[in-house]
């Protein structure tokens, strides 16, 4: 059944009539994702896509009329925090926020609101999630996947695609691939997603793609050691050569003083029994050494 | 974005925090004149501090005292001639030297793990907090502000008593709340007062009194929030920025110059870091980090190419594009266009996979000086070899003069 998204997902696209929203809604629809509604304030009553997806003015109305349970946000940064709160207060249980450049202090306020509704936020500044062969929500290209039993979680976008392509080329399929986002403050952590994979009967092995900045990888390593010590797991950490004190593209990718270095993350993961690759292309081999067979 | 000490102090003053007077000057003679005014208002000494964004200026000799106007001019002259960690000192801050009784540390910082603002304090002030955290972890008090209620009075009082500042309770509470307000008002990632000092000052009646004063400040702003603080963007110190970084930022390209000779053009921050790492692993040295961002239209590719070639040490270029939103053919057109405009040509290794990769290959096939690669590892190897060959052919100066 994979995690987060699947055949039962009823997706609402916030910002569906915008340039990004339109393009990616078409891609998601073409992949087979069940898009039930779109929201753009002031454009209610129209339809979007060739699939005739109804557009609503508000999330509340969209949820009432279509039973949408998941939303994906392509709204520009100034309106995105509000869009997240609008979604969860309308009853959406899982929100993917693709938008980048949302101020961190805005997210600090939004996250407890999401939690108060018992909802889950993935992102912001994330590529979304794809449950292979079932549904894709976000911007991950659909063509790179192969169905299988490896669950992947990443802080990155195109680097994720690189790793997924390497797995697919090696014949190793994926259950769900999730990007949690490159910002310092994100709705879901590595551990949140690993816990979902741990409970998923269709995921047998794990890949974690981390990068410099913060200590989410170290926390994930400790969690794995305690909860999933025997699950085959490989990882890659980007930014081994990044200079300290510089923000490497992602708002969250920065070495501050002695914290957030690749060395610390790699050591923590290796100590937790995770095989850490020096290049994305090594991941299939490392999974193989951990007992993962091609599908 | 990091702020200079003087700008950080101004933001503290806007929140009514107690910061002693200061002036920023660019010449020794101006330093002498502002020192004269501080001596005239009763200062026994002045402190002269290099205004640079790199850490460790104190250890480097960039912070010194002066006892009279002549010494102030000499010290300012010496500091203004300094180069601290590669940064030329262009200005100094002059302030009356405080009569310090005790030093403390106080800050608000974004706590990524807890997803809250962390209010930190220590009675070990005036030194690097990371050192304090390593040596005396128990001397640091950590309090999380509430995401919606902010930093509450009881939390500020708790900090005051934990730091042994109960005798200055009202002052500490005001400073703590002003510190937090500075963080929120400016969308900062970090606001640090180090040291917060108890100083002796002469009151109006001539008696000596103890006061709390913010003697040094450090602020880092959230780049994602700068668009809603146009006044803060103006505080960016262009003196300390590579002009190429400035140009990249105006074009929406994420660019960081590094010391090597292999220029990198990649889409996506994680993949861009990975590409750098792999260049280094293959025995090469990346000249830059460059993320052209999502979409990657032809004109942006051409702009990115100009940024890379502006660095005369670049001897080869590695283009690594994973087409998703970005379309391979768009990137290829951009590369061809950039190639025709270039003032100097260096070998280029191009790897484009994903959306419209076949079209990209057709466009680039047969282009002079462009080598196509399929795998990331293969592209990196080829770029490292190309840089080496070019270096050998052109000579050690890299043919910087085209």
Q: What are phi and psi of A219, to 5 degrees?
A: -65, -40
Q: How many CB atoms are closer than 10 A to CB B71?
A: 17
The pLDDT value given to residue B240 = 82
Q: Does B354 touch chain A (CB under 8 A)?
A: yes
Tell me the average pLDDT across B201-230: 93
Q: Decide the pairing of beta strands B140-144 and A94-97.
A: unpaired
What DSSP line would sit under A176-245, residue for residue?
A: EEEE--SSSS-SS-HHHHHHHHHT-TT--EEEEEEESSSSHHHHHHHHHHHH-TTS-EEEEEE-TTPPTT
The pLDDT value given to residue A254 = 86
Maximum alpha-carbon separation in chain B = 86
Above 50 in pLDDT, residue A263? yes
* Distance from the A78 Cα atom to the nearest Cα atom in chain B, whole angstroms: 9
Chain A residues lying within 8 Å of B271, measured CB to CB: 156-159, 162, 238
Chain A residues lying within 8 Å of B353, measured CB to CB: 165
B300 sits in which H/E element:
helix B298-309
Residue B150 Cα to chain centre, angstroms: 27
What does the pLDDT look like over B347-367, one tens digit per residue? 999 999 987 888 899 988 878
pLDDT grade, residue B128 (50/70/90)?
Answer: confident
The residue among A97, A87, A110, A1 whose CA lies nearest residue A37 is A87
The pLDDT value given to residue B401 = 40
The pLDDT value given to residue B295 = 65
What does the pLDDT look like over B36-57, one tens digit per residue? 999 999 899 999 999 999 888 8
pLDDT grade, residue A124 (50/70/90)?
Answer: very high
Q: Name the residue among A105, A161, A248 with its Cβ closest to that of B222.
A: A105
* Distance from the B115 Cα atom to the nearest Cα atom in chain A, whole angstroms: 6
Region label for B319, one of left (φ > 0), alpha (ψ between -120 and 50) or beta (otherwise): beta
State what percent of residues in chain B have pLDDT above 70: 97
**Nearest 10 degrees: Cα torsion B115, B119, B124, B130:** 20
Q: How many CB atoms are closer than 10 A to CB B203?
A: 9
CB contact under 8 A, B268 and A159: yes
A36 near A12, Cβ under 8 Å?
yes
Q: Superfamily assignment of A140-289 in CATH?
A: Succinyl-CoA synthetase domains (3.40.50.261)
**CA separation for the pair B198, A182 (Å, rounded):** 41
Q: Give chain A's mean pLDDT.
A: 95
**CA separation for the pair B224, B245 (Å, rounded):** 17
Q: What are phi and psi of B104, to 5 degrees?
A: -130, 170
Q: Does B286 touch chain A (CB under 8 A)?
A: yes
Q: Residue B114 gets which letter from DSSP?
A: T
pLDDT grade, residue A279 (50/70/90)?
Answer: very high
Q: Decide the pairing of beta strands B99-111 and B92-96.
A: unpaired
Q: Establish whether domains A11-122 and A140-289 are of one fold.
A: yes
Q: Does B276 touch chain A (CB under 8 A)?
A: yes
What does the pLDDT look like over A59-73, one tens digit per residue? 999 999 999 999 999
Q: Does A295 touch chain B (CB under 8 A)?
A: no
The pLDDT value given to residue A101 = 93
The pLDDT value given to residue B390 = 87
The Cα-based distances of A91 to A28, A86, A124, A180, B264 in angstroms read 22, 9, 19, 22, 45
Which ipTM did the prediction report?
0.94
The Cα-based distances of A158 to A49, A142, A187, B43, B337 in angstroms read 26, 13, 20, 58, 24
CB contact under 8 A, B280 and A182: no
Q: Find all residues with CB under 8 Å of A193, minimum gap 6, and list them.
A: A3, A153, A178, A180
Above 50 in pLDDT, residue A284? yes
Above 50 in pLDDT, residue B311? yes
Tell me the average pLDDT across B147-158: 98
The pLDDT value given to residue B402 = 37
The pLDDT value given to residue B395 = 63
Q: Find all residues with CB under 8 Å of B398, minimum gap 6, and list them.
A: B261, B312, B313, B314, B315, B390, B391
Mean pLDDT highest for which of A100-114, A252-266, B221-235? A100-114
Tell me if residue A227 is catalytic.
no
The pLDDT value given to residue B356 = 83
What does the pLDDT look like over A79-92, one tens digit per residue? 999 999 999 999 99
pLDDT grade, residue B396 (50/70/90)?
Answer: low
What DSSP line would sit under A243-280, residue for residue?
A: PTT---SSTT---BTTBS-HHHHHHHHHHTTPEEESSG
Radius of gyration (Cα) for chain A, nearest Å?
18
Residue of chain A whose Cα is closest to the Cα of B375: A281
Number of A/B CB contacts below 8 angstroms equals 164
Chain A residues lying within 8 Å of B286, measured CB to CB: 241
Chain B residues lying within 8 Å of A156, measured CB to CB: 268-271
Q: Find all residues with CB under 8 Å of B38, minimum gap 6, and list them.
A: B21, B46, B94, B95, B96
Q: Find all residues with CB under 8 Å of A232, minimum gap 6, and list them.
A: A204, A205, A206, A287, A290, A291, A292
What token pair was written down for A174?
Answer: 């994926």
Q: Which of A24, A29, A145, A250 is catalytic?
A: A250
Q: What are phi and psi of B231, to 5 degrees?
A: -65, -30
Q: Name the residue among B183, B254, B324 with its Cβ closest to that of A249.
A: B254
CB contact under 8 A, B268 and A107: no
Above 80 in pLDDT, residue B342? no
What does the pLDDT look like over A7-32, one tens digit per residue? 999 999 999 999 889 989 999 999 99
The residue among B137, B134, B153, B135 whose CA lies nearest residue B145 is B153
The pLDDT value given to residue B296 = 66
Mutate to test the interface with B, among A105, A250, A285 (most CBs of B within 10 A): A105
Q: Name the residue among B113, B254, B271 with its Cβ closest to that of A159.
A: B271
Q: Would you kindly state where each structural domain of chain A is located, as residue ranges?
A: 11-122, 140-289
Q: Name the residue among B225, B254, B277 with its Cβ closest to that of A239.
A: B277
What does the pLDDT look like over B272-290, one tens digit per residue? 999 999 999 999 999 999 9
B36 near B69, Cβ under 8 Å?
yes
Tell me the average pLDDT across B308-333: 89
**CA separation for the pair A209, A266 (Å, rounded):** 11
The residue among B247, B283, B246 whose CA lies nearest residue B384 is B283
Q: Decide the pairing of beta strands B46-50 and B92-96.
A: antiparallel
The residue among A266, A44, A25 whose CA lies nearest residue A135 is A25
Q: Decide the pairing of beta strands B99-111 and B188-202.
A: antiparallel
B35 near B216, Cβ under 8 Å?
no
CATH number of A11-122: 3.40.50.720
Q: Does A241 touch chain B (CB under 8 A)?
A: yes
**First CA to last CA distance, chain A:** 17
Q: Does B147 touch chain A (CB under 8 A)?
A: yes
Tell me the average pLDDT across B134-147: 93
What token pair was written down for B305?
Answer: 């190419």
The residue among A25, A273, A250, A245 whose CA lies nearest residue A154 is A250
CB contact under 8 A, B187 and A104: yes
Chain A residues lying within 8 Å of B280, measured CB to CB: 240-241
B194 sits in which H/E element:
strand B188-202
Q: Does B113 touch chain A (CB under 8 A)?
A: yes
Q: Name the residue among A102, A216, A279 with its Cβ closest to that of B278.
A: A279
User: Residues 27 to 46 of A: which have CB under 8 A from any B CB?
Assistant: none
Q: Which of B73, B105, B330, B390 is catalytic?
A: B105
**CA separation for the pair B250, B254 (Å, rounded):** 10
Q: Decide the pairing of beta strands B116-122 and A11-14.
A: unpaired
Q: Name the residue among A108, A111, A211 with its Cβ closest to that of B273.
A: A211
Chain A residues lying within 8 Å of B322, measured CB to CB: 158, 161-162, 165
Above 90 in pLDDT, residue B169? yes
The pLDDT value given to residue B398 = 45
Q: Find all residues with CB under 8 Å of A19, minimum gap 6, and list them.
A: none
Domains of chain B as residue ranges with CATH: 1-20+99-241 (3.30.470.20), 21-97 (3.30.1490.20), 242-394 (3.40.50.261)
The pLDDT value given to residue A246 = 86
pLDDT grade, residue B337 (50/70/90)?
Answer: confident
CB contact under 8 A, B222 and A160: no
The pLDDT value given to residue B291 = 93
Q: Residue B366 gets which letter from DSSP?
A: T
What does the pLDDT look like over A170-195, one tens digit per residue? 999 999 999 999 999 999 999 999 99
């Amino acid at each position: 059944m994979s995690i987060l998204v699947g055949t039962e997902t009823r997706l609402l696209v916030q910002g569906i009539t915008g340039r990004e929203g339109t393009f990616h809604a078409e891609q998601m629809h073409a992949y087979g994702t069940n898009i039930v509604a779109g929201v753009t304030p002031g454009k209610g009553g129209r339809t979007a896509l060739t699939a005739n997806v109804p557009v609503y003015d508000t999330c509340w109305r969209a949820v009432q009329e279509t039973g949408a349970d998941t939303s994906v946000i392509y709204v520009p940064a100034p309106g995105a925090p509000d869009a997240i709160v609008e979604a969860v207060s309308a009853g959406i249980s899982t929100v993917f926020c693709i938008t980048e450049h949302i101020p961190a202090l805005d997210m600090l306020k939004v996250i407890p609101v999401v939690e108060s509704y018992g909802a889950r936020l993935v992102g912001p500044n994330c590529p979304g999630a794809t449950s292979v062969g079932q549904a894709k929500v976000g911007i991950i290209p659909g063509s790179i996947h192969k169905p299988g039993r490896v669950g992947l979680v990443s802080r990155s976008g195109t680097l994720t695609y690189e790793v997924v392509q390497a797995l697919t080329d090696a014949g190793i399929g994926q259950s769900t691939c999730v990007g949690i986002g490159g910002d310092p403050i994100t709705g879901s952590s590595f551990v949140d997603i690993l816990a979902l994979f741990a409970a998923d009967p269709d995921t047998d092995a794990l890949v974690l793609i981390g990068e410099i900045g913060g200590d989410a990888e170290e926390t994930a390593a400790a969690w794995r050691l305690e909860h999933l010590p025997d699950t085959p797991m490989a990882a890659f950490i980007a930014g081994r050569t990044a200079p300290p004190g510089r923000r490497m593209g992602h708002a969250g990718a920065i070495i501050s003083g002695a914290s957030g270095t690749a060395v610390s993350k790699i050591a923590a993961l290796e100590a937790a029994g995770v095989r850490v690759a020096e290049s994305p292309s090594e991941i299939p081999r490392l999974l193989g050494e951990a007992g993962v067979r091609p599908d | 974005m990091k702020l200079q000490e003087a700008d950080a102090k101004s933001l503290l003053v806007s929140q009514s925090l107690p910061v002693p007077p200061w002036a920023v000057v660019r010449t020794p003679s101006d330093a002498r004149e502002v020192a004269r005014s501080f001596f005239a208002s009763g200062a026994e000494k002045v402190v002269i501090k290099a205004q640079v964004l790199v850490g460790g200026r104190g250890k480097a000799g960039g912070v010194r005292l002066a006892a009279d106007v002549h010494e102030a001019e000499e010290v300012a002259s010496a500091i203004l001639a300094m180069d601290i960690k590669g940064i030329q000192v262009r200005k100094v801050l002059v302030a009356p030297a405080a009569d310090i009784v005790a030093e403390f540390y106080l800050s608000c910082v974004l706590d990524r793990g807890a997803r809250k603002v962390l209010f930190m304090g220590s009675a070990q002030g005036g030194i690097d907090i990371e050192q304090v955290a390593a040596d005396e972890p128990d001397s640091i008090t950590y309090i999380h502000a509430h995401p919606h209620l902010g930093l509450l009075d009881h939390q500020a009082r708790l900090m005051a008593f934990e730091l042994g500042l109960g005798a200055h309770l009202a002052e500490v509470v005001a400073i703590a709340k002003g510190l937090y307000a500075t963080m929120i008002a400016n969308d900062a990632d970090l606001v640090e007062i180090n040291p917060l000092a108890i100083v002796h000052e002469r009151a109006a009646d001539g008696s000596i009194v103890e006061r709390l004063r913010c003697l040094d400040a450090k602020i880092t702003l959230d780049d994602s929030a700068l668009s809603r603080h146009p006044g803060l963007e103006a505080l960016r110190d262009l003196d300390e920025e590579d002009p190429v970084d400035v140009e990249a930022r105006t074009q929406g390209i994420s660019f960081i110059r590094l010391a090597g000779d292999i220029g990198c053009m990649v889409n996506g921050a994680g993949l861009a870091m990975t590409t750098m790492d792999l260049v280094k692993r293959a025995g090469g040295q990346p000249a830059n980090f460059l993320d052209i961002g999502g979409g990657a239209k032809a004109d942006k590719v051409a702009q990115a190419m100009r940024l890379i070639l502006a660095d005369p040490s670049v001897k080869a270029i590695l283009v690594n594009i994973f087409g998703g939103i970005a379309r391979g053919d768009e990137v290829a057109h951009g590369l061809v266009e950039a190639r025709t405009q270039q003032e100097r040509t260096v070998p280029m290794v191009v790897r484009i996979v994903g959306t419209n990769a076949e079209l990209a290959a057709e466009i680039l096939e047969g282009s002079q000086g462009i080598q196509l690669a399929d795998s990331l590892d293969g592209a990196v190897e080829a770029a490292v070899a190309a840089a080496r060959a070019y270096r050998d052919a052109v000579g050690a100066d890299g043919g910087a003069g085209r």
